[in-house]
Structure 1
Amino acid sequence: MSLITNVMDHSLDDGYAEAAARRKAAGEGGLPKTLSARLVLAAGLVLAALVVTVGAAQARVAAPVVAKERQELIDRIDRETKAADKLESNVNKLRDDVSDRQRAALRTSGGSAQADLVGILSGATAVHGPGVKLVVNDAKEATSGGNGDPRETADFSDTGRVRDRDMQRVVNGLWQAGAEAVSINGQRLTALSAIRAAGDAILVDNRPLVPPYTVLAVGDGNRLSTRFQNGADGLYLHALEENYGIRATISTESDLRLPAAPSVIVRTAQPSTEKGTS
């Protein structure tokens, strides 16, 4: 008990107490005693207050300027976006006009049926008919966070996100099941289409899509649905539902309408003029 009492009574080392006493006796401790020292201290306080005041004033002056520049940038983005949308609409109208003229020219030359078939299979022509509608969505708990592999992280919010490879398997499964035309969120797929990822976004032909992902496939609806769900890619989608909470619904439809692909450009292939070649 005596040791504890000594520690409580002498919490500060005796040497520190003696040093403080000597400084106090010599007039070195406490506030400045001379007029010059007090003036220096006052000048320092005034300078510090001046710096703070000037900084606050500059911040108040700069705030409206920054807000104005930000609004101008937003307005410029909106104008450019509207202009791009207008140009894209004009391009689509011109493309439709060119397609109509091509079909008219082919009808005149007697090649309409074959041209229509080629246009349907290539994705260059809008189509409609029976088929299936497949809607794939992220799990309810999924978020946009996470940079790792969604099938290897422990965070459920990452594993519950639909990824580009998931949509690749869905589309390939529908083709294999007998689909004659496929689109995702209104984007028509062709033999040149690519489904990729950019961060958390899924791109179809470099156009970002947002969930839910609505996949339309034209074909024999009942047969297409059964073959897809019983195939390897349909079972893969079912496993995503069971294990990661990804949501998917499939239904047969009597009439689906799929748009034409925005552009079908062949850069390498050439039509063959020889007969009997393979």
Structure 2
Amino acid sequence: MCGMSQQPPERSTVPRRPRPDASMSLLTNVMDHSLDDGYAEAASRRAADGTAGVPRTLKAKLGLAAGLVLAALVVTVGAAQAREDAPVVAKEREELIDRIESGSATADSLEKDIESLRTEVGKRQREALQKHGGDQGALVGLLSGSTAVHGPGLKLVVDDAKGSDTGGGGPRESAGFSDTGRLRDRDMQRIVNGLWQSGAEAVSINGQRLTALSAIRAAGDAILVDNKPLGPPYTVLAVGDGQRLADRFQGSSDGQYLAALRENFGIRTKITAEDEVRLPAAPSVSVRIAEPTAGKGTS
């Protein structure tokens, strides 16, 4: 029987699939050989010399025991000291809290006294103005803001834009303020001045009566009116000829400025003509005495 020549096995034509971690050879090497070769050699040498593991000589064992005892002593003393100091720290904290609460109560009491005295001073000033103002006492009281007024007028509510707590730069950024959609003191100044120029006879912001001596300033992002902080929404009341006052203000440059704030920065505004608005008297008015100039007669 004649032998048949054996054919070599056919090679598969299907390409071998590469290993999933073929592209991560460096990471694979680090995982497989986490110990540096030098450290591995040193550990093998110590194991061969019998110096690996715990010390074997009596002197080394005593040294290790002494070190452990010293470490335990330090930890124990520290824990005992912390436990001993805890009541003292807690007592000092309670005393500090009591002092803060006492100081806050004293400040609140003084603030109430100041407000009461300011109200009393304003009341006596108004009485003196009515008594010595003559025929023009009522007009002077109205113009100076020392008397409460009511009548037709307008109500303007101005509020910050929605989400105004987010920062960002913009054309309104100046003097440390950023364009955050917040109404600024300079914006309120223009609004009030526009109302005066449009014919308002009396103006108040959030119940704070404005006079010829009122100041609108800023402290951080807060608006101060005569050093009193006001928060949004800002309700501006103005006594005047209702709808005519509203139309004149909206047509003025300051009214257009407010409209630009609404369109460009999201400042929310609402203006309505009212049949009657009530404005309180200014809390304190400085009374001044006029004297004729020397060398000139008076009419």
State the TM-score, normalized to the length of structure 1.
0.80
Residues 150 and 159 in structure 1, CA contact (< 8 A), matched pair in contact too: no
Instruction: Give the counterpart letter for 1:168 in structure 2.
Output: Q
Provide Cα deviations, 1:142-189, integer angstroms capped at 9, x if missing partner: 22x659778349xxx952211111111111111111111111112221
Supply the distance in 2 between the matched residues of 1:146 and 1:56 (Cα, whole angstroms): 47
Which structure has the larger Rg? 2
Query: Which sits farther off after the overlay, 40-49 or 258-267?
Result: 258-267
Unpaired stretches in structure 1, ≥5 consecutive residues: none
Unpaired stretches in structure 2, ≥5 consecutive residues: 1-21
Q: 1:21 aligns with which of 22, 30, 44?
A: 44
SS in 2 for 1:34: helix
2:78 matched residue in structure 1: 51
SS in 1 for 2:120: helix
Residues 139 and 245 in structure 1, CA contact (< 8 A), matched pair in contact too: yes
SS in 1 for 2:224: strand
2:145 matched residue in structure 1: 123
Q: 1:264 aligns with which of 276, 285, 291?
A: 285
How far residue 226 of structure 1 moved from its aligned partner, in angstroms, is 0.5
Q: 2:156 aligns with which of 123, 130, 134?
A: 134
Query: Which sits farther off after the overlay, 181-190 or 255-264?
Result: 255-264
How far residue 209 of structure 1 moved from its aligned partner, in angstroms, is 0.9
Instruction: Give the counterpart letter for 2:121 in structure 1.
Output: L
* Aligned-pair identity (%): 55
1:62 matched residue in structure 2: 89
**Residue pairs, 1:186-205, within 5 angstroms:** 186-205=207-226
How far residue 235 of structure 1 moved from its aligned partner, in angstroms, is 1.6
Supply the distance in 1 between the matched residues of 2:256 and 2:61 (Cα, whole angstroms): 89
Residues 221 and 253 in structure 1, CA contact (< 8 A), matched pair in contact too: yes
With over 3 angstroms needed to count, the CA separation of the structure-2 counterparts of 1:201 and 1:36, relative to structure 1, is same
Asked if residue 93 in structure 1 is aligned to residue 82 in structure 2, the reply is no
Supply the distance in 2 between the matched residues of 1:122 and 1:131 (Cα, whole angstroms): 18
How far residue 135 of structure 1 moved from its aligned partner, in angstroms, is 1.1
Supply the distance in 1 between the matched residues of 2:183 and 2:207 (Cα, whole angstroms): 18
Query: Which sits farther off after the overlay, 95-104 or 21-30?
Result: 21-30
With over 3 angstroms needed to count, the CA separation of the structure-2 counterparts of 1:39 and 1:150, relative to structure 1, is farther
Supply the distance in 2 between the matched residues of 1:162 and 1:132 (Cα, whole angstroms): 20
Supply the distance in 1 between the matched residues of 2:31 and 2:230 (Cα, whole angstroms): 70
1:167 matched residue in structure 2: 188
Supply the distance in 1 between the matched residues of 2:198 and 2:153 (Cα, whole angstroms): 11
Supply the distance in 2 between the matched residues of 1:49 and 1:85 (Cα, whole angstroms): 54
Instruction: Give the counterpart letter for 2:214 in structure 1.
Output: S
Supply the distance in 2 between the matched residues of 1:243 and 1:56 (Cα, whole angstroms): 61
CA RMSD of aligned residues (A): 3.3
How far residue 206 of structure 1 moved from its aligned partner, in angstroms, is 1.3
Supply the distance in 1 between the matched residues of 2:187 and 2:155 (Cα, whole angstroms): 16
SS in 1 for 2:74: helix
Supply the distance in 1 between the matched residues of 2:108 and 2:30 (Cα, whole angstroms): 75
Supply the distance in 2 between the matched residues of 1:45 and 1:223 (Cα, whole angstroms): 87
SS in 1 for 2:157: strand
Provide Cα deviations, 1:198-238, integer angstroms capped at 9, x if missing partner: 11111111111111111111111111100111212112212
Instruction: Give the counterpart letter for 2:278 in structure 1.
Output: R
**Going by fraction, where is helix more abundant, 1 or 2?**
1
How far residue 69 of structure 1 moved from its aligned partner, in angstroms, is 2.2
**Aligned pair count?**
266
SS in 2 for 1:165: helix
State the TM-score, normalized to the length of structure 2.
0.75
Supply the distance in 2 between the matched residues of 1:216 and 1:38 (Cα, whole angstroms): 84
